[in-house]
Amino acid sequence: MGLIPYKNEVYLDWTEEKNVEAMRAALKDVGSRLGRSYPAIIGGRRVETDDEIVSVNPADPSQVVGRTASATEREADMALETATSTFETWSRTSPEARARILLRASAIMKRRKFELLAWEAHEGGKPWFEADAQVAEAIDFLEYYAREMLRLKDGVEIYSVPGEESRYTYQPMGVGVIIAPWNFPTAILTGMSSAAIVAGNTIIMKPSEFTSVIGAVVAEIFEEAGLPEGVLNFLPGYGSKVGDYLVEDARTRFISFTGSMKTGLRINELAARQIENQRWVKRVIAEMGGKDAMVIDDSADLDSAASDIVKSAYGYSGQKCSAASRAILHADVYDEVLDKVVEKAKALKIGGPESADVNVGPVISEPQFEKVSSYVDVGKQEGERVLGEDPGDPQGGYFISPTIFEVEREARVAREEIFGPVLSVIKARDFDEALRVANDSPYGLTGGVYSKNRDHLELARREFKAGNVYFNRGITGALVGVQPFGGFGMSGTDSKAGGPDYLPLHMLARTVVERF
């Protein structure tokens, strides 16, 4: 196929009035469509359920964004049955034809970009630039995985012995259950789903309960792109209600999950148990939580270190698995960096995503608001709060102001994933100690070092225990194809989304040898 080389989608420039106007118009348009109902889609058929999921705007919980079906085991069973039978045809569809569907979905997303941004603002509470980065990431996944499938469609080179031909090729695996989180409801859902589909699998797509409407929009885009019925079965539902059923079923071949450590470990455990009629070892691709650290040493450019700590800690209100939730500062520069971080964090504009200049929006939901609020209470007991206020009444929106605690490394706020705008700042005697503190975590997702000392950078290059390590820059916003993303330890199976090893996780590798 004659495609132009892959390149990342360019972000929108919010200083351009035409973009601001287009976004305002999209917010108004999507605003006029709130409150609608979205059924499940199984084999192309709209399927209503007895119960529903009501999704609200986190910046204004009185506003219902939409209502989606709430699947039970009955609909999950229908979806598994449909995906199983559709696998027979889709797995035999050519890789080129499968890739073209992704390219068409990407073109639709580009055309509908402002609308998608507006859904992100309404349902995810995303500031405009965060929403844009996320939709750009979804487009990148589609473009990248389409090209990856074309690269892998005839297999990869291996050696043959004289007189024989050895071939090593990839084939589709089966029915995949795609379980997504709410924090990147367009990008991660699109990325996990498109990788599975382009590899020739059929899927059950389960979005997060908090962003089910965006899930419905993504499902519609694949439909509009011409994906045959039954390849993607859209199954909104509560994880607690249908999750175990989908994971345990004998028809499920693999589970692609992104979410918390707790859920990921449960899925891994349930998937490992063999049940009646099961004919394979289920594969689990799991990307989970983080407690990501940035280490600042005494040689660093302190101004830019402070700016990147603030960006990495408070982008999307700290609700990124890659977010900096620990800043580990060399004792000699501790006060200076902390002062700068406080000053820069104070300047952030908090609010609903109504204009391009809002930096920090609400957290996603009432349970998340309660969880983060309780960590703010814990932090006040454990250390000194140098920035932030007690959270207010959640009825006015789930807003929590950027918060900073000075704590010891053992503090719970410095060890547990909070997933909100809360940063723990820890003092280290020297670089070795700072790196030890950074590594002293069961997680290992992202990490950063700010330093001009070559020995320190090389030491961190070898020893920093994280799947994505960044030097002298922020630690969030991994670009597809440029910064393949996935963690070590309890952060997951290191599947590296957006990288060259990702698609083969969704396929079976076959070796065929013929002697002549």
Separation CA 502–CA 473 (nearest Å) = 25
Count of residues touching ligand NAP (by CB under 6 A): 33
Which residue, among 109, 466, 121, 513, has the nearest Cα to 321 in the 3D structure?
Answer: 466
Stretch that binds ligand NAP, among 109-117, 201-209, 291-299, 310-318 (CB under 6 A): 201-209
Note whether 439 and 299 are within 8 A (CB).
Answer: no
Enter the tokens of residue 139. 């487009």
Q: Does 397 bind ligand NAP (CB under 6 A)?
A: no
- Backbone phi, psi, residue 11, to 5°: -70, 155
Rounded CA separation 83/273 (Å): 22
Is 417 one of the binding residues for ligand NAP (CB under 6 A)? Answer: yes
Q: CA angle, corner 255, sides to 253 and 260, nearest 5? A: 165
| Smallest separation (angstroms) from ligand NAP to the CB of 312 | 14
Tokens of 227: 């994906």
| Spatial strand order in the sheet of 36-38 | 36-38, 60-69, 52-57
Q: Kindly tell me which of 424 and 451 has the beta carbon lying closer to ligand NAP.
A: 424
Choice between 273 and 429, CB closer to ligand NAP:
273
**Least distance from C-beta 213 to ligand NAP, angstroms?**
13
Among 58, 290, 315, 362, binds ligand NAP (CB under 6 A): 290
- Residue 249 binds to ligand NAP (criterion: CB under 6 A): no
* Distance of closest approach, residue 124 Cβ to ligand NAP, in angstroms: 12
Q: Please enumerate in sequence order all residues whose Cβ is within 8 A of that of 168, keeping only pairs 6 or more positions apart, or say none.
A: 155, 156, 157, 158, 509, 510, 511
Cβ 349 to ligand NAP, closest distance in Å?
Answer: 25
- Choose which of 183, 201, 202, 256 interacts with ligand NAP (CB under 6 A): 183
Q: CA-CA distances (angstroms) from residue 427 to 35, 324, 331, 431?
A: 49, 16, 6, 11
Regarding 140 and contact with ligand NAP (CB under 6 A), the answer is: no
The stretch among 118-126, 217-225, 258-266, 468-476 that binds ligand NAP (CB under 6 A) is: 258-266
Query: Which residues lie closer than 8 Å to 55 by C-beta, 6 or more apart?
Result: 64, 65, 66, 67, 68, 123, 209, 210, 211, 212, 213
Which of 79, 80, 149, 179 is close enough to bind ligand NAP by CB under 6 A?
179
Nearer residue to ligand NAP within complex by CB, 287 or 298: 287
Complex with ligand NAP: residue 27 or 246, whichever CB lies closer: 246
Identify residues 336-365 at the interface with ligand NAP (CB under 6 A).
none
List the x/- string, 429-468, binding to ligand NAP by CB under 6 A: ----------------x-----------------------
Q: Which of 9, 143, 321, 417 is catalytic?
A: 321
The nearest distance, CB 391 to ligand NAP, in angstroms, is 18
Annotated active-site residue 384? The verdict is no
Q: Does 208 bind ligand NAP (CB under 6 A)?
A: yes
The structure tokens listed for 94 are: 């050519």
Query: CA angle at residue 314 from 311 to 316, to 5 degrees?
Result: 105
Among 66, 448, 492, 499, binds ligand NAP (CB under 6 A): 492
Which of 472, 388, 464, 460 has its CA nearest to residue 423?
388
**Which residue matches tokens 């799991």?**
286
Closest CA to 184 of 162, 206, 157, 214: 214
Rg of the chain over Cα atoms, rounded to whole angstroms, equals 23
The DSSP-derived string for 267-316 is HHHHHHS--TT--SPPEEEEE----EEEEE-TTS-HHHHHHHHHHHHHGG
180 part of the interface to ligand NAP, by CB under 6 A: yes
Region near ligand NAP per CB under 6 A, out of 64-72, 285-293, 350-358, 457-465: 285-293
Q: Tell me if 419 contacts ligand NAP by CB under 6 A.
A: yes
Smallest separation, CB 214 to ligand NAP (Å):
12
Residue selected from 104, 112, 122, 206 as contacting ligand NAP according to rule CB under 6 A: 206
* Angle value at C-alpha 30, between 56 and 372, nearest 5 degrees: 30
* Backbone φ, ψ for residue 469 (5° rounding): -115, 130
In sequence order, which residues have a C-beta less than 8 Å from that of residue 483 and are 6 or more positions away? 468, 498
Q: Which of 9, 287, 382, 406 is catalytic?
A: 287
Tell whether residue 494 is a contact of ligand NAP (CB under 6 A): no
Site stretch for ligand NAP (CB under 6 A), options 121-129, 136-144, 176-184, 216-224 = 176-184
Residue 78 or 329: the one with the smaller Cβ distance to ligand NAP is: 78
- Of these, 55, 106, 202, 491, which contacts ligand NAP (CB under 6 A)? 491
Nearer to ligand NAP, 137 or 297 (CB): 137
Active site residue 321: yes
Q: Least Å distance between CB 207 and ligand NAP?
A: 6
- Choose between 179 and 345: whose C-beta lies nearer to ligand NAP: 179
Contact assessment for residue 320 and residue 360, using Cβ atoms and an 8 Å cutoff: no
Residues that bind ligand NAP (CB under 6 A): 179-184, 188, 206, 208-209, 238-240, 243-244, 247, 258-260, 263, 266-267, 287-290, 321, 417, 419, 445, 487, 491-492
- Residues annotated as catalytic are 287, 321
